Amino acid sequence: MAESRIPWEDGELSPLKRVTRTLALPLKPQAGAQLMVDGRLSPALTFALVTLLPLAFLRGIIPWTHHIWFAPALGLKVDSALPWQVLAFDIGRAGSFGVVMTVALWLALALPFVHLLRAFSRKRHAGAIAWRTLFYGAWLVPLSLEGVLHFGLFWVWPQPAHPFFPWMLLVLDVLPLLLLLTLMRIVARSVCGVSLVQMVALLLVPLLSLFLMRAWCLMLLQGALPVPPESRDVPEDTSGIFAFQVQTR
């Protein structure tokens, strides 16, 4: 039975079902796109905050913590000589970098898409439809392009030197972004009636903006990457995520 409205906006569902079924919408983009037409922006914004911010915070912990190091096969080393307040500040600082970068990337993708869809579509409230689409798909941004899935696989995978490992990383980096772009494409084409020629600009411009913003953010945050002193006691296994964490990208 097809959904008649976004599960997040269905008060008859349990909180768990509201979240999980809404997260599943990008997996069935044709049906999910039709649900973006009607509804208010406030529930969509709430869903974006509930899902995007925690994932964005997690996205920053591994690459930007200075006193906690991560190694393959769930290896973890904490600078135990420091008080917990310093460690908590370190985690909060790193997570904040993740939030800032993720929100910047989402805005770089969202703003061009919304403005171009308004310009290309003759459908009323095309801007609201675009915002609802991007709010409900915002959680895919911190998973993409060296995001939560990328760092998570580095941490849990026991052998980063495996020949298939780079391909797995590539899939995890690209797949969430492709799911979001597919949802955006179907909303623009099927719901808002954008032509095929206009679709090129509608997707290419936001994507280019996203990559430019990512490069700019990495350049600004370069100095925030941890570089432990030579005398610091580091994990024996310095491959994989530990090396990626302390080296310049």
3-state DSSP call for residue 6? coil
Amino acid at 89: F
Q: Is the pLDDT of residue 3 over 70?
A: no
Considering only residues 122 and 242, tell me which one the structure prediction assigns the higher pLDDT.
122
Which amino acid would we find at residue 192? C
Max intra-chain CA distance, the chain = 64
Under 8 Å between Cβ of 140 and 184: no
Q: Is the pLDDT of residue 47 over 90?
A: yes
pLDDT band at 142 (very low <50, low <70, confident <90, very high): very high
Does 26 have pLDDT greater than 70? Answer: yes
Average pLDDT over residues 126-147: 91
pLDDT reading at 162 higher than 60: yes
Phi-psi region of 79 (alpha: psi -120 to 50; beta: other; left: phi over 0): beta
Give residue 85's pLDDT: 85
Q: What confidence tens digit (pLDDT) does each residue in 175-202 have?
A: 999 999 999 999 988 888 888 888 888 8
Q: Express as a percent the part of the chain with pLDDT over 90.
A: 31
Vertex 67 angle, CA 66 and 71, to 5° = 90
3-state secondary structure of 68: strand
| Average pLDDT across the chain, whole number | 82
Residues 6+ apart with CB under 8 A from 153: 168, 169, 172
Say what the pLDDT of residue 247 is: 43
**Helix/strand/coil for 13:** coil
Residue 147 has pLDDT above 50, yes or no: yes
Amino acid 231: pLDDT: 41
Using left for φ > 0, alpha for ψ between -120 and 50, and beta otherwise, residue 123 falls in beta
Q: Which pLDDT belongs to residue 238?
A: 41
β-pair partners for 71: 75
Least confident among 35-39, 181-185, 242-246: 242-246
pTM, two decimals, is 0.82
Rounded distance, CA 174 to CA 149, Å?
Answer: 10
CB atoms within 10 A of CB 119: 13
Q: What is the pLDDT of residue 206?
A: 93
pLDDT tens, 83-129?
A: 888 888 888 988 999 999 999 999 999 999 999 998 888 777 888 89
d(CA 191, CA 189): 6
> What is the per-residue pLDDT across 208-239, written as a single tens digit (0 to 9) for each?
999 999 988 888 887 766 654 444 444 444 43
- For residue 156, the surrounding DSSP H or E stretch is helix 148-156
Region of poorest pLDDT, from 27-31, 44-48, 75-79, 134-138:
75-79
